[in-house]
Amino acid sequence: MLKKLCVGLAIAVGASMSIGEAAAAPTAIRCDTCDEGGFRAEAVSRGAGVYITYNLANNTVSQYYVGSSSGGGGGPTVPRRAGDASTAAAGPVVLRQTPPAAAIEEVRRGNRAYVEGGMTIRPTYVVPVNQLGLNADAAQKTAYDYVRDANLRAMVESSTGSIDTITKVVGAGFLNAVSDLIQMASNYTGLRDQARMMFRIVFQDGSYVTVIVNLENQNGNTEPGSARTPAGQLVPSDIQDVQGDWTNLGGEDLGRMNGHMANLGATMVPLGKISGSVIKGISCSGSSGSKICHVQYMAR
């Protein structure tokens, strides 16, 4: 009878451990300034759980289990033996573990992409619109057209996602490195999802938009809110974005912005003499779809 009871208890404990281990799926923590002590501190700061900690810049990776000796924290617990001197201080139990081989390989491949990408796995490439092979009419458009023309966006996204454009723009080193990374079946660290190419598409007037390129997709994805004037000011995509101040500093021609905001539905209120003047600034405020923009004119 006693033997059966012991066997039953062993099975129950084993089942409990399996359930606990299954529940403790590793959480990834990236810390490019951390050494081993930093990894441990980052894991402990997150509370109970299992953590894969890695430094992409240094190609180092560790795994830590963080539990509670008392069980009062609501997380995993590690029993202490009676008489253990550390029992009195019921702090977290921290165990350094061996990370999965696949996680180590992810960081290795990610580090290669990081180095090839110029110390980032999301490098930005400046791409003149003429490199996209668009038709002559589309190639003459601007960021003002882009935010309001779905077909123009589709053409740009289609071109940026094509292998022909990608191979022209991206260096072979980074392209091969990121290809190797996304071919990993595992994704413990999340690096496979983070590695992207950012294409800043520059139109002929100097305005630009950013398109996110993912090798796993056929088309690029326009980064929301990325349309900018040549001087870097926001080109609103809808009436909700018409909020704030725009100036002509940096040689910005605000005449196009004035018309663009009016087309979006903003009420444009001129201040100063319009004839023979240029727009010095536009100041917009309001709530929801009701926007009022004060347009300040000044003599040339």
Mean pLDDT of 211-220: 96
Helix (H, G, I), strand (E, B) or coil at 261: helix
Beta pairing class for 92-97 and 60-68: antiparallel
Whether residues 216 and 181 fall in one domain: yes
Whether residues 208 and 247 fall in one domain: no
Whether residues 113 and 74 fall in one domain: no
Whether residues 70 and 115 fall in one domain: no
Nearest to 75 by CA among 86, 90, 53, 96: 90
Question: Is residue 65 assigned to a domain?
Answer: yes
Quote the pLDDT of residue 90: 63
Question: Is residue 234 assigned to a domain?
Answer: no
**End-to-end distance of the chain based on CA atoms, in angstroms?**
102
- Chain center to CA of 268: 36
How many domains does one find in the chain? 3
Residue 39: what are its φ and ψ, rounded to 5°? Answer: -60, -45
State the Cα–Cα distance between residues 277 and 93, nearest whole angstrom.
Answer: 72
Residues 23-80 pLDDT 10s: 457 999 999 999 999 999 999 999 999 999 999 999 999 999 999 765 444 445 454 4
For residue 150, pLDDT over 50 is answered with: yes
Give buried/exposed letters for 4-18 (b at 16+ CB in 10 A, else e): eeeeeeeeeeeeeee
Residues 165-196 pLDDT 10s: 999 999 999 999 999 999 999 999 999 999 99
Using alpha carbons, list the distances in angstroms from residue 46 to 41, 67, 95, 239, 259.
9, 11, 14, 41, 51
Quote the pLDDT of residue 69: 60
Q: Which residue shows structure tokens 């663009």?
A: 260
Residue 240: what are its φ and ψ, rounded to 5°? Answer: -65, -30
Residues 256-291 pLDDT 10s: 999 999 999 999 999 988 888 899 999 999 987 799
Residue 176: what are its φ and ψ, rounded to 5°? Answer: -65, -40
Q: Which residue shows structure tokens 């022909």?
A: 164
The amino acid sitting at 275 is S
> What length is written for the chain?
300
Helix (H, G, I), strand (E, B) or coil at 3: helix
Q: Who's near 238: CB < 8 A, 6+ residues apart? A: 264
Question: Is residue 228 assigned to a domain?
Answer: no
Whether residues 8 and 83 fall in one domain: yes
Whether residues 94 and 138 fall in one domain: no
Whether residues 110 and 217 fall in one domain: yes
Question: Is residue 227 assigned to a domain?
Answer: no
Whether residues 215 and 245 fall in one domain: no
Residue 87: what are its φ and ψ, rounded to 5°? Answer: -65, -35
State the Cα–Cα distance between residues 52 and 40, nearest whole angstrom.
Answer: 10
For the chain, percent of residues with pLDDT exceeding 90: 78
Residue 174: what are its φ and ψ, rounded to 5°? Answer: -70, -40
pTM for the structure as a whole: 0.81
Whether residues 156 and 86 fall in one domain: no
User: Using H for helix, E for strand and C for coil, what is the string for 197-208?
Assistant: EEEEEECCCCCE
Last residue of one domain, picked from the residues 54, 73, 99: 99
State the Cα–Cα distance between residues 156 and 185, nearest whole angstrom.
Answer: 30
Whether residues 204 and 264 fall in one domain: no
State the Cα–Cα distance between residues 281 and 253, nearest whole angstrom.
Answer: 10
Question: Is residue 61 assigned to a domain?
Answer: yes
Instruction: Give the domain range for residue 192.
Output: 105-222
Question: Is residue 128 assigned to a domain?
Answer: yes
Nearest to 233 by CA among 243, 247, 219: 247
Last residue of one domain, picked from the residues 99, 134, 167: 99
Mean pLDDT in the chain? 88
Whether residues 113 and 167 fall in one domain: yes
Last residue of one domain, picked from the residues 222, 257, 282: 222
Whether residues 111 and 218 fall in one domain: yes
Question: Is residue 39 assigned to a domain?
Answer: yes
Question: Is residue 214 assigned to a domain?
Answer: yes
State the Cα–Cα distance between residues 203 and 187, nearest whole angstrom.
Answer: 37
| CA torsion, ordered 190, 195, 196, 197, to nearest 10 deg | 170
